[in-house]
Chains A and B, each alone.
Chain A
Amino acid sequence: MKTIPTIAGLILVASGAAAQEPVLTVYTYDSFVPDWGPGPAIEAAFEETCGCDLQFVAAGDGAALLARLRLEGERTEADIVLGLDTNLIAAATETGLFAPHGITAETDLPVAWDDPLFLPYDWGWFAFVAEADTPAPASFAELADSDLRIVIQDPRSSTPGLGLLMWVRAAHGDAAPQVWDGLADNILTVTPGWSEAYALFLDGEADAVLSYTTSPAYHRIAEGDDGKVAWTFDEGHYLQVEVAGKVAGTDQPELADAFLRFMLTDGFQAVIPTTNWMYPAVMPESGLPEGFETGPRPAPSLLLSPEEAAAIRAEAIDAWLAALDG
């Protein structure tokens, strides 16, 4: 057993670090921190210049992240919260736990961005992902008329699930309930989160799954599999914009500001495409990796403001329940 020397070593390292280096604590979601996620490369790049110890704390998904911050309130150890999306921004703002970032960002988002509290670090379009040989519908209406079976996430427990609700609503407005009525018999099942839905699709249970336009890039680049495609819908695609914010009660305000500025530079952004499988918020100098984007970009890009999204959420969920409960 080499546990004891390891522990002793860790204590030495930890106490040595604690003496000199301030710690910046970043709360984020689960898939950000593993060896294969963006976390390690970003940590290494930031620590090169910050003279600090960057620590990621993973807390489930985006919604769990916000719930944890609310539980902890002003006593939270978090300096930065990274991983909320536009559907959560209104609730996050309401907590009063975030401070303005004061950064004017030149982003490459397909929409304008001017939120005073939250800065985007990546984004993507929601899309249905399917095998390339499945006949692809070109709109929700065509999907509803087809015999295709899709698997989606529950908007009551999952951010992509909520994103789909917003997508239908942003594209079809008051006709959204009719769209859901039409889709009801195409929905094979609903899962609590993205993981279960995507696994069902990969197991061949469903013809398509709600995911992102960038999902096929994972299979192409990481697995050398060209066989997955994202369906492009004529009415446009809803955006998921992932954001980070500075916690107002942080004991490291300068470091937190430095991290947010670093977040929009190449050291962070160049890591995003092939680790988080989303578009970087600011296009790195090296551009997108080979094979990341093969088709035309969907248009238009749809996005409700955080206030609109928060205002219609309950009603949109009720309409969704009514359509699928029948």
Chain B
Amino acid sequence: MAGRAGRIGWPGALAAALVLAVIVGPIVAVAMRAEGLGTLGPAGRGALRFTIWQAAVSALVSVALAIPVARALARRRFPGRGLLLTLLGAPFILPVIVATFGLLAVFGRAGLVNTGLAALGLPSLSIYGPGGVILAHVFLNLPLAVRMILLGWQAIPAERFRLAALLNAPVWRLLEAPMLARVVPGALVLVFLICLTSFAVALVLGGGPRATTVELAIYQAVRFDYALDRAATLALVQVALSAGVAALAVLVHLPDAMGAGMDRVVPRWGAGTRALDALWIAAAGLFLILPMAMIVIEGVAGFSDIPPGTWVAAARSLAVALASTAICMGLALALAVSGGRWAIVVGTLPVAASALVLGTGLYILLFPWLRPQVLALPVTVAMNALFALPFALRIVAPAVERSEAQFGRLADLTGLSGRARLRLLTLPRAAGALGFAAGLAAALSMGDLGVIALFAGQETETLPLNMYRLLGSYRSDAAAGAALLLLGLSLALFAVFDRAGRRC
């Protein structure tokens, strides 16, 4: 590993220890309360098989589609490209249940596609089944995969493309394929792990118990059977799986050998046809934005039904999101700069950690000391920071690594270290990635239900919880309005951070 990115310093070690403690501690607490671990049972094993299968297929399809879309976006400049990039991210940062209903408004039984097919006298398509689960997971995760791969493309110095063009050298084999070999494993891992904890989407679109995931088995174990031993075992399996997969990705990780450029992005020539790129961008845009548009349309209709409590909850969620973002970015930077080679594995663990088991474990650990209502918001801030960390880290770490690979030796020679190195080298070089990561963390934290439902008392309701409560008492119009508010605030937070980063 090149440069300082592989070194371990105390901030990184501390951050890694903290993350590990907060992930493993609660599972241990749950297991101790249950006085041991349980067995998975045939139902648990069946759920595990389905979970791994759907996560693997979802990851492969999402990333395979993301490559041509990212390539098209990387080499075309058009008006509204920045806005499109922001909007494309929307499905990923929404609460999954909202995104699912948006998807159903397009592909469902009463959705746009089937209405259109019926008008043409064609047989209808059913989204419910394994195909629907994959479709939804691609919808939810394609934006992330596109952005991760796009960052890889943008990291190839324009000088290289010029040089390749000048020498008439094969751009794909010399520049793009090596870049993809570095970036794709990370994207695959992340999407796979996100889908590993899928629950409501898989069940609703899977069409029934055939689509039982590990997370549903955990839900049943904690809520109905009170079989904490089984819940702890299932949670450990999730964490072990994510640790294994993330570790595998580290082992196949290739160092960045691209060298430094002047960071200018130039329109490219000679590569592929303009029409094909336009087609990819239009198809991805339509697929991702149409369901969002349906959410907006339904939300506008329900906006006037929003009760006053929703606005209070929205303000609370904004504060939670900003606090979570600060913590998340601190952890991500510490891990990226001085966490060592395996920091990324530790930092990836939260993505596949069961919120229910984590919350339950924290409850067991904290309840003897503090009132749950007092803890609701602080714990939510901490958990949301943790759940956003894998994404922030996967975006920040490559940028830090690249900056070290390119300028680390120069910095070493000039004796640049500590805070000055962070301020003068790392932060400016990684500004784009930091802004994107912070935007993502803020938006994710805004929409994450996290563990609030477990701790919530009076005066602690967040916007996602408020939305679920509206949905739970017949008020689906007001819930659609709240979802629109959530979508708007999340996107605004994301855009503010992302643009600030890109401008730096």
**Do chains A and B stick together as partners?**
yes
Residue in B105, B110, B203, B364 whose beta carbon sits within 8 Å of that of A190 in the complex: B203
A-B residue pairs in contact (CB < 8 Å), sample of 30: A30-B453, A31-B472, A33-B458, A34-B307, A35-B308, A35-B309, A36-B473, A36-B475, A64-B223, A71-B33, A91-B226, A154-B216, A157-B216, A157-B223, A162-B224, A187-B207, A187-B208, A190-B208, A190-B209, A196-B200, A196-B471, A198-B471, A198-B474, A200-B104, A203-B105, A205-B110, A320-B209, A321-B209, A324-B210, A325-B209
Q: How far is the CA of A247 from the CA of B86 in the complex (A)?
A: 51
Q: Which of A55-63, A132-140, A168-176, A237-245 contacts B (4 or more CB under 8 A)?
A: A55-63
Q: How far is the CA of A77 from the CA of B373 in the complex (A)?
A: 11
Given contacts A34-B470, A198-B471, 12 further A-B contacts (CB under 8 A): A30-B469, A63-B224, A64-B453, A68-B363, A154-B203, A192-B203, A193-B472, A195-B472, A200-B204, A203-B101, A205-B109, A222-B474
Which residues of the other chain, B, contact A33 by a CB distance below 8 angstroms? 458
B476 within 8 A of A: yes
Please classify the interface of chain B as helix (H, G, I), strand (E, B), loop, or mixed, using the class held by over half of its residues: helix
A194 within 8 A of B: yes
Q: Are B204's CB and A196's CB within 8 A?
A: yes
CB-based closest 6 A-B pairs: A204-B110, A156-B220, A195-B471, A31-B473, A63-B223, A195-B472
Q: Are A67's CB and B223's CB within 8 A?
A: yes
Smallest CB separation, B461 vs chain A (Å): 9
Residue in A60, A156, A204, A325 whose beta carbon sits within 8 Å of that of B224 in the complex: A156
Report which residue of B203, B223, B368, B456 has the largest number of chain A beta carbons within 10 angstroms of its beta carbon: B223
CB contacts under 8 Å to B, within A21-49, are: 30-31, 33-37
Which residues of the other chain, A, contact B108 by a CB distance below 8 angstroms? 203-205
Chain B residues close to A by CB (< 8 Å): 33, 43, 97, 101, 104-105, 108-110, 128, 199-200, 203-210, 216, 219-220, 222-224, 226, 307-309, 360, 363-364, 367-368, 371, 373, 453-454, 456-458, 468-476, 479
Which residues of the other chain, A, contact B223 by a CB distance below 8 angstroms? 63-64, 67, 157
Residue in B208, B210, B458, B471 whose beta carbon sits within 8 Å of that of A56 in the complex: B458
Please, what's the 1-or-0 string for A262-294, where 1 marks a CB less than 8 Å from any CB in chain B?
A: 000000000000000100000000000000000
A11 within 8 A of B: no
A218 within 8 A of B: yes
Which residues of the other chain, A, contact B469 by a CB distance below 8 angstroms? 30-31, 34
Q: Which residue of B lies closest to A276 (CB)?
A: B473
Q: How far is the CA of A69 from the CA of B471 in the complex (A)?
A: 25
A75 within 8 A of B: yes
CB contacts under 8 Å to B, within A160-216, are: 162, 187-196, 198-200, 202-206, 215
Q: How far is the CA of A224 from the CA of B371 in the complex (A)?
A: 43
Smallest CB separation, A54 vs chain B (Å): 11
Q: How far is the CA of A91 from the CA of B222 in the complex (A)?
A: 13
Q: Are B458's CB and A192's CB within 8 A?
A: no
Q: Are A191's CB and B204's CB within 8 A?
A: yes
Which residues of the other chain, B, contact A277 by a CB distance below 8 angstroms? 474
Which residues of the other chain, B, contact A75 by a CB distance below 8 angstroms? 367-368
Residue in A35, A61, A189, A324 whose beta carbon sits within 8 Å of that of B204 in the complex: A189
Q: Are A30's CB and B468's CB within 8 A?
A: yes
Residue in A67, A149, A192, A320 whose beta carbon sits within 8 Å of that of B216 in the complex: A192
Report which residue of B210, B219, B472 has the largest number of chain A beta carbons within 10 angstroms of its beta carbon: B472
Give how many A-B residue pairs fall within 8 Å (CB-CB): 142
A60-B453, A218-B474 given as contacts; is B203 within 8 A of A205 (CB)? no
Which residues of the other chain, A, contact B367 by a CB distance below 8 angstroms? 71-72, 75
Residue in A68, A195, A199, A321 whose beta carbon sits within 8 Å of that of B454 in the complex: A68
Q: How far is the CA of A125 from the CA of B446 in the complex (A)?
A: 38
Range, interface on chain A: 35 or more
Smallest CB separation, A166 vs chain B (Å): 14
Smallest CB separation, A323 vs chain B (Å): 9
A59-B456, A154-B216 given as contacts; is B309 within 8 A of A34 (CB)? yes
Q: How far is the CA of A68 from the CA of B203 in the complex (A)?
A: 24
Q: How far is the CA of A91 from the CA of B474 in the complex (A)?
A: 29
Smallest CB separation, A200 vs chain B (Å): 7
Q: Which residue of B lies closest to A60 (CB)?
A: B453
Which residues of the other chain, A, contact B224 by a CB distance below 8 angstroms? 63, 156-157, 162
A261 within 8 A of B: no
Q: How far is the CA of A242 from the CA of B101 in the complex (A)?
A: 30
Which residues of the other chain, A, contact B220 by a CB distance below 8 angstroms? 156-157
Which residues of the other chain, B, contact A196 by a CB distance below 8 angstroms? 97, 200, 204, 471
Residue in A72, A157, A194, A320 whose beta carbon sits within 8 Å of that of B472 in the complex: A194
Residue in A154, A189, A195 whose beta carbon sits within 8 Å of that of B205 in the complex: A189
A191-B200, A204-B109 given as contacts; is B216 within 8 A of A71 (CB)? no
Q: Are A324's CB and B476's CB within 8 A?
A: no
Q: Which residue of B lies closest to A277 (CB)?
A: B474
Smallest CB separation, B330 vs chain A (Å): 26
Q: Which residue of A lies closest to B468 (CB)?
A: A195
Q: How far is the CA of A111 from the CA of B205 in the complex (A)?
A: 38
Which residues of the other chain, B, contact A199 by a CB distance below 8 angstroms? 101, 471, 476, 479
A67-B222, A205-B108 given as contacts; is B363 within 8 A of A37 (CB)? no
